[in-house]
Amino acid sequence: DTGVSQDPRHKITKRGQNVTFRCDPISEHNRLYWYRQTLGQGPEFLTYFQNEAQLEKSRLLSDRFSAERPKGSFSTLEIQRTEQGDSAMYLCASSLARSASGKGGGLSYEQYFGPGTRLTVT
Amino acid sequence: GNSVTQMEGPVTLSEEAFLTINCTYTATGYPSLFWYVQYPGEGLQLLLKATKADDKGSNKGFEATYRKETTSFHLEKGSVQVSDSAVYFCALSPYNFNKFYFGSGTKLNVKP
């Protein structure tokens, strides 16, 4: 288990340029999530995939943002025509959908986070 | 709706002091509750979790009890160390685990 990896770790771009980030989840995990974290705040949900299907997108995800997970493994997050307000840490997480064992039942999906990609738009 | 409120930081303690970081939540249904920790320069790491009311999550000397009646999940540790200095995030996930809702984080500084 090598953990969730993200590439690049840092990206500086000029306003108006397009950027793409990659996330490689833990290999057996079927769910993959993208979050955005700004300074002094907790992560905010952007979108998530179960296998290759994108099941939910936040209203934070404007039409300039697009995410894919074509083969149900790695995922990419693209931001087109970047704006200064896009400057943030972009976090990827993955989890394995499974049933909790033991009494009480229910589901237990621990999310494992990558180190993040810090985007600076100048 | 779903939301998490944490006490504002930074919290500064001396080594071996008792730690409490307050967390309250608003949720529809029966969420699971989590504490994540972020050490300087590192990613978020799961510290502990509780999936139903009255569950107590514990790890590395930290504890938190899922209190449905007070909608709280306060983080406690009896004796903090310098190595516990980090940012702590309280989070909830709805029953279907489609996303996490995070608090704004509480920075803990522990002085020798």
Give B 1-60 residues with CB within 8 A of chain A. Answer: 4, 32, 34, 36, 42-46, 49, 51-52
Q: What is the pLDDT of residue A104?
A: 40
Q: What distance in Å separates the CA atoms of residue A87 and residue A82, rounded to the nearest whole number? A: 9
Task: Give tens-digit pLDDT for A37-85.
Answer: 998 899 999 999 999 999 989 988 889 999 999 988 999 999 999 999 9
List, in sequence order, every beta strand (DSSP E) within A25-104: 31-37, 44-50, 53-57, 65-68, 75-79, 88-95
Predicted confidence (pLDDT) at residue B6 exceeds the cutoff of 70: yes
Q: Looking at the partner chain, which of B43, B97, B99 has a beta carbon nearest the beta carbon of A115? A: B43
For testing contact with chain A, the best of B99, B101, B106, B107 (most A CBs within 10 A): B99
The pLDDT value recorded for residue A102 is 44
pLDDT in tens, B48-79: 999 889 999 999 999 999 999 999 999 999 99
Is B44 a residue whose pLDDT tops 90? Answer: yes
Instruction: Report whether the peptide linkage leading into residue B10 is cis, meaning its omega lies within 30 degrees of zero.
Output: yes
Rounded CA-CA distance A24/A62 in Å is 23
At residue A90, the 3 state secondary structure works out as strand
